[in-house]
Amino acid sequence: MSQCNQCEQANHGTGCTLGAVSHGVCGKSEDIQSLQETLVYGLKGMSAYASHARRLGASDSEVDAFVQEALFSTMTNVNFDLGATLEYVLECGRMNLRVMRMLDEAHVRVMGKPGPTEVKEGTQAGPGVLITGHDLVDLKKLLDASQGTAVKVYTHGEMLPAHMYANLHEHPNLAGHYGGAWQKQLREFDAFPGAILATTNCVQIPRDSYRDRLFTTRAVAVPGATRITNDDYRAVVEKALALPPCEQAIRRTTTVGFHHSVILEHAGAIVEAVKAGKISRFFVIGGCDGAEVGRNYFSEYAAACPADSFILTLGCGKYRIREHDYGTHLGLPRLLDMGQCNDAYGAITVALALAKAFDCGVNDLPLTLVVSWFEQKAVAVLLTLLYLGVKGITIGPRAPAFVSPGVFKLLEERFDLRLTGPSAKEDLYRALGRAA
């Protein structure tokens, strides 16, 4: 059952309830409503990525035109056809692939060549700023505003991959990384003594304990925090200098930065190793993280992957699996951190390159995708994978509430889309074609 209240005809002036047998006053069905919501959420996720790209000087007028037309298609009395609506949904996936490619190229162009990079996790003695979200332009401007001061800048959440880009990594004020995924920020921001800058989703409404030292940028705004809309981050640096310093507390050192260009430098060796039976499978385990208990599924899945497999990860879903030591295989870490959620483009690039090398389709590769979703950027990425015809993707920990039973059945039949099951190990063994 879902509700639609977008026009004057809304039932009883409150809303039409759409279900298996009940249609809207206009005749809209539950499945059309479901696909229209999928489209709108995919457009929102894609627009966030396009907005990040625009900050880096990259835009695509064809994408902009598609956003307008696709939104138009969801207006009242425009489109009641399941097939035509599904076309828009998959076209959104195609457009999002363009946007993710554009963002990937812009990141490399502006932030420098990516490469494997060691990151100190924890804090170092002295005043500090913690920066969270996805916007690397904000990070660069913050670093420049702090240059020449004693302020140390730490990444949080989805900012961790920033360390892989040469122009950021080499900046003298970029000190390391602090904390985990977005849902831990209430506790982690509370414990961090310095100033905090939230640049994009996913920000939470702050506790009183750190509200007065929280800054946000542009579209991001929470009650009581200071919102900066002019790219001038000197106030954040001044706040950090006035606050108590961080203590020396390095937890560990980890390696990030397995951008698709880094992995594909080894493409020849990888192909030979697969042919020689030395690599059993590649897993892409990543996406979003969240607070639900069911997300332990992803930790259990990754821990059970065979020792001769590689796990590519991206997005803040990596925090579910990066505490485990997976060791190395063929001289490479088994867990390869490719970057932010938008770097799903990198995983796609690797998969397409391997398919070309093996002269087969992506669905014929020894590759399994296990995707954790939370918000609308993940919807856009999923639509891209479906547009590419990738089959057998497992998503979880729950089915999206906006996907009706009829639409889920359609996606199951056409794309073999699966939900995470009760046992991660059983799902893994099925992917490996082995008995549990």
Is 5 a binder of ligand SF4 (CB under 6 A)? yes
Q: Answer yes or no: are the C-beta atoms of 340 and 266 closer than 8 Å.
A: no
Is 186 a binder of ligand SF4 (CB under 6 A)? no
Nearer to ligand SF4 among residue 153 and residue 341 (C-beta) = 341
Contact pattern from residue 42 through residue 81 relative to ligand SF4, giving x for each residue in contact according to CB under 6 A and a dash for the rest: ----------------------------------x-----
Residue type, position 326, single letter: Y
Could you say which of 162, 197, 202, 270 contacts ligand SF4 (CB under 6 A)?
202
> How far from chain centre, in Å, is Cα 129?
23
Give the footprint of ligand SF4 on residues 314-343 (CB under 6 A): 315-316, 341
Residue 80 CB contacts under 8 Å (≥ 6 apart), including other chains: 27, 28, 29, 32
Could you say which of 2, 7, 218, 227 contacts ligand SF4 (CB under 6 A)?
7
Residue 344's region, left for phi above 0, alpha for psi from -120 to 50, else beta, is alpha
Q: Answer yes or no: are the C-beta atoms of 198 and 224 closer than 8 Å.
A: no
Is 30 a binder of ligand SF4 (CB under 6 A)? no
- The single-letter DSSP state of residue 13 is G
Q: What is the dihedral of CA 355, 360, 361, 365, to 10 degrees?
A: -60
Q: What is the DSSP string of 191-225?
A: H--SEEEE-SS---PPPHHHHTTEEEETT---TTS
Is 6 a binder of ligand SF4 (CB under 6 A)? yes
Is 22 a binder of ligand SF4 (CB under 6 A)? no
Is 25 a binder of ligand SF4 (CB under 6 A)? yes
CB of 24 to ligand SF4, least distance (A): 2
CB 252: neighbour CB atoms within 10 A? Answer: 8
Contact pattern from residue 250 through residue 289 relative to ligand SF4, giving x for each residue in contact according to CB under 6 A and a dash for the rest: --------------------------------------xx
Contact pattern from residue 357 through residue 386 relative to ligand SF4, giving x for each residue in contact according to CB under 6 A and a dash for the rest: -----------------xx-xx--------
Helix count and strand count (H, E) for the chain: 15, 18
User: Which chain residues interact with ligand SF4 by CB under 6 A?
Assistant: 4-7, 9-10, 16, 24-26, 28, 76, 157-158, 182, 201-202, 288-289, 315-316, 341, 374-375, 377-378
